[in-house]
Structure 1
Amino acid sequence: MTLTLTPACSAFIRRRWVCLIASMVICVCAGFGYAWSVLQNPIVTRFGWADSGVALAYTITVLCSTMAPLFFGGLIRRLSTRMGVVVGAVLFGAGLFATGMMDQLWQLYLFYGVIAGLGVGFIYPSMMAYVVRLFPDRSGMASGLGTAAYGSGAILWAPAATALMEGVGMSQAFQVLGVLFAAVILAGSLLLSDPPEGFQQGLAPAAQGAAGSGADLRRGQMVRTGAFYQMLIVFTCGLVAGVIVISQASPILQQSLSYTSSRAALFVSVFSACNMAGRFLWGSLSDKLGLVNTAGAVFLLCILSMAGLALTGAELPVLILMGIAASCYGGLASILTPLTARMFGPRYITENYGVMYLVFGLASLIGPSLATSFKTMGGGSYTGAYVTAAVLAAIGLVLSRFLRPVPRKGE
C-alpha cells in the first residue's frame, strides 16, 4: 500500500529521473580514478620514480576521497546536494589541472592524491546517498545505476587519457581532463534537486521497511555500534580483490602477459565494463534476492576468482578471472548504500554512507600495497597478493552471515 503523496511529491516522481541521469553523468566524470592503471607506468617512465611510490598516489586519492565525508561531514550536511557537488567539481578539476604541472613526487601526492581526492569525496558519497533518496522504492536499482556510472569512468577515460598523453603529452592531458571534468560536473549540478519533505516517507513504505529496518541512527551513534565495525571489516575484506585488479590491471597485464601499454589500456576499459556491469546486475538483483544473500554470492565469486588467478597464468583464464574480480568489486559497491540504510535506518543515510565509504579507502590502502609488495618479493609474480585477497574475501563471507540491523528501541 502506498501513502497519498502531496502534489510536490507527485511532481518530483517524474522529475527524479532527470536528477538520476544528471547524477550518473556526474559520477561518470568522478570515476576517472578507475583509469589510474593507465597513468601509473607513463608517470614512472617520464619521471623515473619507483612503482611503489607512484602507486601510493592512487591510495592517497582514495583515502582522501573516503576521509572527506569524515572531516567535512558537518559542512557537507549544511550544503545542499547541488552546492556540495559544486565544491567537489572545483577541487577535482583544479587537482587534475595542477597535476599537469608537477615535476616532483610530492606534487603528485598533493595535486592528484589530496586535492582531486577531496573533490571526489565531496561528489561521489553525496551522489550515492542522493540517488537512494530519489528512489526509496527501488534503492538497489538506484544504487546500482549510480555506482555503475561511477565504475564506468575508465571505459571512457582509460583510452581517452592514453590517447591524450600520446597526442599532446602528459602535462596537457591532465590539464584538458581537469577543465573538462569541472565543466561537465558543474553543468550536471544545475539539474539536481533535493526531494521534497515527506517524499521518502510517502513513497512505497513497504519497500522502505525492507531496505531499512534498522534504527535511525546518526553517524555519531552508528560508529558506537558493533554492527558498524562488522560492516567495515566485511566490506574492506571483500573489496581488496577488486582493488588489486582495478588499480593494477595495466601493470599486471604488462608483467604477466607481456601486453603493450595500449593493449593493456584496452583491457582496463574491459574490466571497467565488468565493474560497471557488476554494479547494475548485483544492485538490481539485491532488490529480489536480499542484500545479505547477494553479498554472500559476490564474496564466493571473489574467492574463486582470486584462487583461480593464483593457480593459472594462461591468457584467457587470467582475463576472465580479472573481469570477474572487477565485477565483484562493483557488486559490493552497489549494495553498500542500501545495506547501510537497512542496518542503521534510512533517515540519515547521507551522513552514514559518508562514513561507511571509508571501506573503499581501507581496501585501497591494502590492495595496491599487496600487489606491489608481492610483485617485488616474488620476482614479478602477483600470486601472493591473489592468495591473500582470497583469504580476506573468505573472512568477509563468514562475517557477512552475521550482519543484523541495529534494532529500534523497544524491539
Structure 2
Amino acid sequence: MSSPKDFNVFARRRWVCLISAMVICICAGFGYAWSVLQNPIVTRFGWADSAVALAYTITVLCSTMAPLIFGGLIRRMSTRTGVIVGAVLFGGGLLLTGLMNQIWQLYLFYGVISGLGVGFIYPSMMAYVVRLFPDRSGLASGLGTAAYGSGAILWAPTAAALMEGVGMDRAFQVLGVLFAAVILVGSLLLTDPPEGFQAAMAPKRGGEQGGAADLRRGQMVRTGTFWKMVVVFTCGLVAGVIVISQASPILQQTLGYTASGAALFVSVFSACNMAGRFLWGSLSDKLGLVNTAGAVFVLCILSMGLLAVVGQEVPVLVLMGVAASCYGGLASILTPLTARMFGPRYITENYGVMYVVFGLASLIGPSLATTFKTMGGGSYTGAYVTAAVLAAVGLVLSRFLKPVSRKGE
C-alpha cells in the first residue's frame, strides 16, 4: 500500500496522464471519419457500397473483440505496454491499407489489423482515466470519450485534403505513420496509479459509487445485469452509428450535398458526438448515471422519429447532430456505469468486455442504413424508424438496471 504522500504526488501528476490519454484517444478516434473514406474507396475500386461499408463494421467488431480475445494478455500488461502494442497494430494497419488493391485487403488491413490496434488502445484508456479520477469518474470518462469522439473533427477534413492532394494510397500511409508516432510518444507519459489510490480518492459519501460487488469479468458475464446492459447500450447506440458511419452518403443522397460539403458536416456531427460525451459525462456526476441514460434515450428516440418524417435541410442537420450527441452521451457513461454495476476494482477487464456493445451496434447500424436505402430507393426512413424503436427498448430496460450486490443480484 502506498503512502498518502505518494497519493498526493500522483494526484497532481494525473492531469498530465489524462492529457496524454486524451491525445492518444484523439488519434484512435480516426475511425469516426469513415464516411469520408467510403465513397472515395468505392469510386477508386468500383466495389459495392455495402461491401465497402462492411470494412467499418469489421474494424469496430475487431476493436470490440480484442479485449475479449486478448483480455488475459492485456491484463498482464502495463497500461503503457498495451498502448504501444495498439499503436503498432493501428498505425501499421492503416499503412498497409495504402497498399491494398483487393477488397479482402481492405478487410484485413483496415478492418482487422487497425481494428485490433484500437481494441488495445481505447478500452484501456477509458478504464485508465476512470482509475485516474475515481473521485470524478463521470468527468474523466466524458473527457476521454470526448477526445476519442473528436477524432473526426480533425481527421475527416485532413483525410479528405490528403486524398485530394497526394492520393488515397499515400493518405493512408501518411496517417498510419503519424498516428503510430504520436501514440508511441504519448504512451511515455502514462503512469499507472499507485496501489490503494482508487480507494483513497473515491467519494466517501453514499450514493451511486457504493454497494456493488467487485466482480471479475467471468463473474460479471454470468449476471442478468450484464446482459441487460448489453441490450440497453446496443439498442441505444444504433441510432448514432447510423449517423456517424453513414453521414456523408446520407447527406449526398438525401440533401444533394457534394463530397466536400458532406465532409464538413461529418466534422460537425463529430463535434456533436464530442460535445455529448463531455456534457452528459459531466452531468452524470450530478444527475446519476441511470437518470442520465434515460434522458439520452429520450432524445435519441425523438431525433430518429423526427428524421423519419422531415426532409428539410436544417431540421435534418439538427436532428442528425442530436443523434450523434446521444451516441456520445451513452459512450461517456458506459465506463462509470460498468464500475457502478459491477464494482470499480476490475474495471479495466470488465469495461473491455462491455465494450462489445459498440461492435454489436456497428454491426446493426450500417446494415440497417444500407439495407433500407436499397429497399426504399435511396430513402433511410426505415432505418430511422427501426433505430427509434430500438432506443425505446433500451429506455425501458434501463429502468431495471441495479448494481450487483455482494450477496448476488
TM-score of the two chains, using structure 1 as the length reference? 0.98
Query: 1:410 offset after TM fit, Å?
Result: 8.1
Runs of at least 5 residues in structure 2 that lack an aligned partner in the other structure: none
Alpha-carbon distance in structure 1 between the residues aligned to 2:32 and 2:167: 20
Is residue 2:168 matched to residue 1:167? no
In the other structure, the counterpart of 2:60 is: 62
Retained in 2: the 8 A contact 1:27–1:127? yes
Query: 1:80 offset after TM fit, Å?
Result: 0.1
Is residue 2:73 matched to residue 1:99? no
Query: 1:208 offset after TM fit, Å?
Result: 8.3
Alpha-carbon distance in structure 2 between the residues aligned to 1:21 and 1:196: 18
Alpha-carbon distance in structure 1 between the residues aligned to 2:207 and 2:401: 17
In the other structure, the counterpart of 1:47 is: 45
Give the letter for the 2:301 counterpart.
I
Query: 1:209 offset after TM fit, Å?
Result: 5.9
The one of 124, 127, 133 aligned to 2:131: 133
Give the letter for the 1:162 counterpart.
A
The structure-2 alpha-carbon separation of the partners of 1:15 and 1:251, relative to structure 1 and needing over 3 Å to count, comes to same
Alpha-carbon distance in structure 1 between the residues aligned to 2:356 and 2:202: 30
Query: 1:287 offset after TM fit, Å?
Result: 0.1
Is residue 2:260 matched to residue 1:241? no
Matches within 5 A, 1:68-83: 68-83=66-81
Superposed CA deviations along residues 112-171 of structure 1, whole A, max 9, x for unmatched, are 000000000000000000000000000000000000000000000000000000000000
Q: Secondary structure at the match of 1:210?
A: coil
Retained in 2: the 8 A contact 1:5–1:199? no
In the other structure, the counterpart of 2:263 is: 265
Matches within 5 A, 1:189-208: 189-206=187-204
Alpha-carbon distance in structure 1 between the residues aligned to 2:367 and 2:154: 26
Matches within 5 A, 1:305-320: 305-320=303-318
Query: 1:211 offset after TM fit, Å?
Result: 2.6
Alpha-carbon distance in structure 2 between the residues aligned to 1:60 and 1:208: 42
Query: 1:213 offset after TM fit, Å?
Result: 2.9
Runs of at least 5 residues in structure 1 that lack an aligned partner in the other structure: none
Query: 1:207 offset after TM fit, Å?
Result: 5.7
Query: 1:266 offset after TM fit, Å?
Result: 0.2
In the other structure, the counterpart of 2:119 is: 121
In the other structure, the counterpart of 1:389 is: 387
Query: 1:205 offset after TM fit, Å?
Result: 3.6
Alpha-carbon distance in structure 2 between the residues aligned to 1:6 and 1:107: 52
Retained in 2: the 8 A contact 1:212–1:346? no
Alpha-carbon distance in structure 2 between the residues aligned to 1:219 and 1:204: 22
Alpha-carbon distance in structure 2 between the residues aligned to 1:25 and 1:99: 23
Alpha-carbon distance in structure 1 between the residues aligned to 2:210 and 2:78: 23
Matches within 5 A, 1:258-297: 258-297=256-295
Superposed CA deviations along residues 207-262 of structure 1, whole A, max 9, x for unmatched, are 68633531100000000000000000000000000000000000000000000000
Alpha-carbon distance in structure 1 between the residues aligned to 2:260 and 2:203: 50
Retained in 1: the 8 A contact 2:64–2:352? yes
In the other structure, the counterpart of 1:17 is: 15
Alpha-carbon distance in structure 2 between the residues aligned to 1:124 and 1:265: 24
Alpha-carbon distance in structure 1 between the residues aligned to 2:70 and 2:397: 30
Give the letter for the 2:8 counterpart.
S
Q: Secondary structure at the match of 1:211?
A: coil
Alpha-carbon distance in structure 1 between the residues aligned to 2:243 and 2:110: 20
Give the letter for the 1:101 counterpart.
L
Query: 1:204 offset after TM fit, Å?
Result: 3.4
Superposed CA deviations along residues 72-102 of structure 1, whole A, max 9, x for unmatched, are 0000000000000000000000000000000
Give the letter for the 1:117 counterpart.
G
Retained in 2: the 8 A contact 1:165–1:173? yes
Is residue 2:397 matched to residue 1:404? no
Give the letter for the 2:115 counterpart.
G
Query: 1:108 offset after TM fit, Å?
Result: 0.2
Query: 1:7 offset after TM fit, Å?
Result: 1.2
Give the letter for the 1:123 counterpart.
I
The one of 143, 147, 152 aligned to 1:149: 147
Alpha-carbon distance in structure 1 between the residues aligned to 2:84 and 2:204: 35
Retained in 1: the 8 A contact 2:203–2:209? no
Query: 1:6 offset after TM fit, Å?
Result: 1.6
Superposed CA deviations along residues 289-326 of structure 1, whole A, max 9, x for unmatched, are 00000000000000000001000110000000000000
Query: 1:279 offset after TM fit, Å?
Result: 0.1
Matches within 5 A, 1:207-226: 210-226=208-224
Is residue 2:336 matched to residue 1:353? no
Q: Secondary structure at the match of 1:159?
A: helix
Give the letter for the 2:211 counterpart.
S
Alpha-carbon distance in structure 1 between the residues aligned to 2:206 and 2:14: 17
In the other structure, the counterpart of 1:370 is: 368
Alpha-carbon distance in structure 1 between the residues aligned to 2:408 and 2:242: 44
Aligned-pair Cα RMSD in Å:
1.2
Give the letter for the 1:257 counterpart.
L
Alpha-carbon distance in structure 2 between the residues aligned to 1:410 and 1:101: 52
Retained in 2: the 8 A contact 1:137–1:207? no
Query: 1:5 offset after TM fit, Å?
Result: 5.8
Query: 1:71 offset after TM fit, Å?
Result: 0.2
In the other structure, the counterpart of 1:110 is: 108
TM-score of the two chains, using structure 2 as the length reference? 0.98
Is residue 2:336 matched to residue 1:338? yes
Retained in 2: the 8 A contact 1:5–1:203? no
In the other structure, the counterpart of 2:185 is: 187
Alpha-carbon distance in structure 1 between the residues aligned to 2:245 and 2:205: 36
In the other structure, the counterpart of 2:174 is: 176
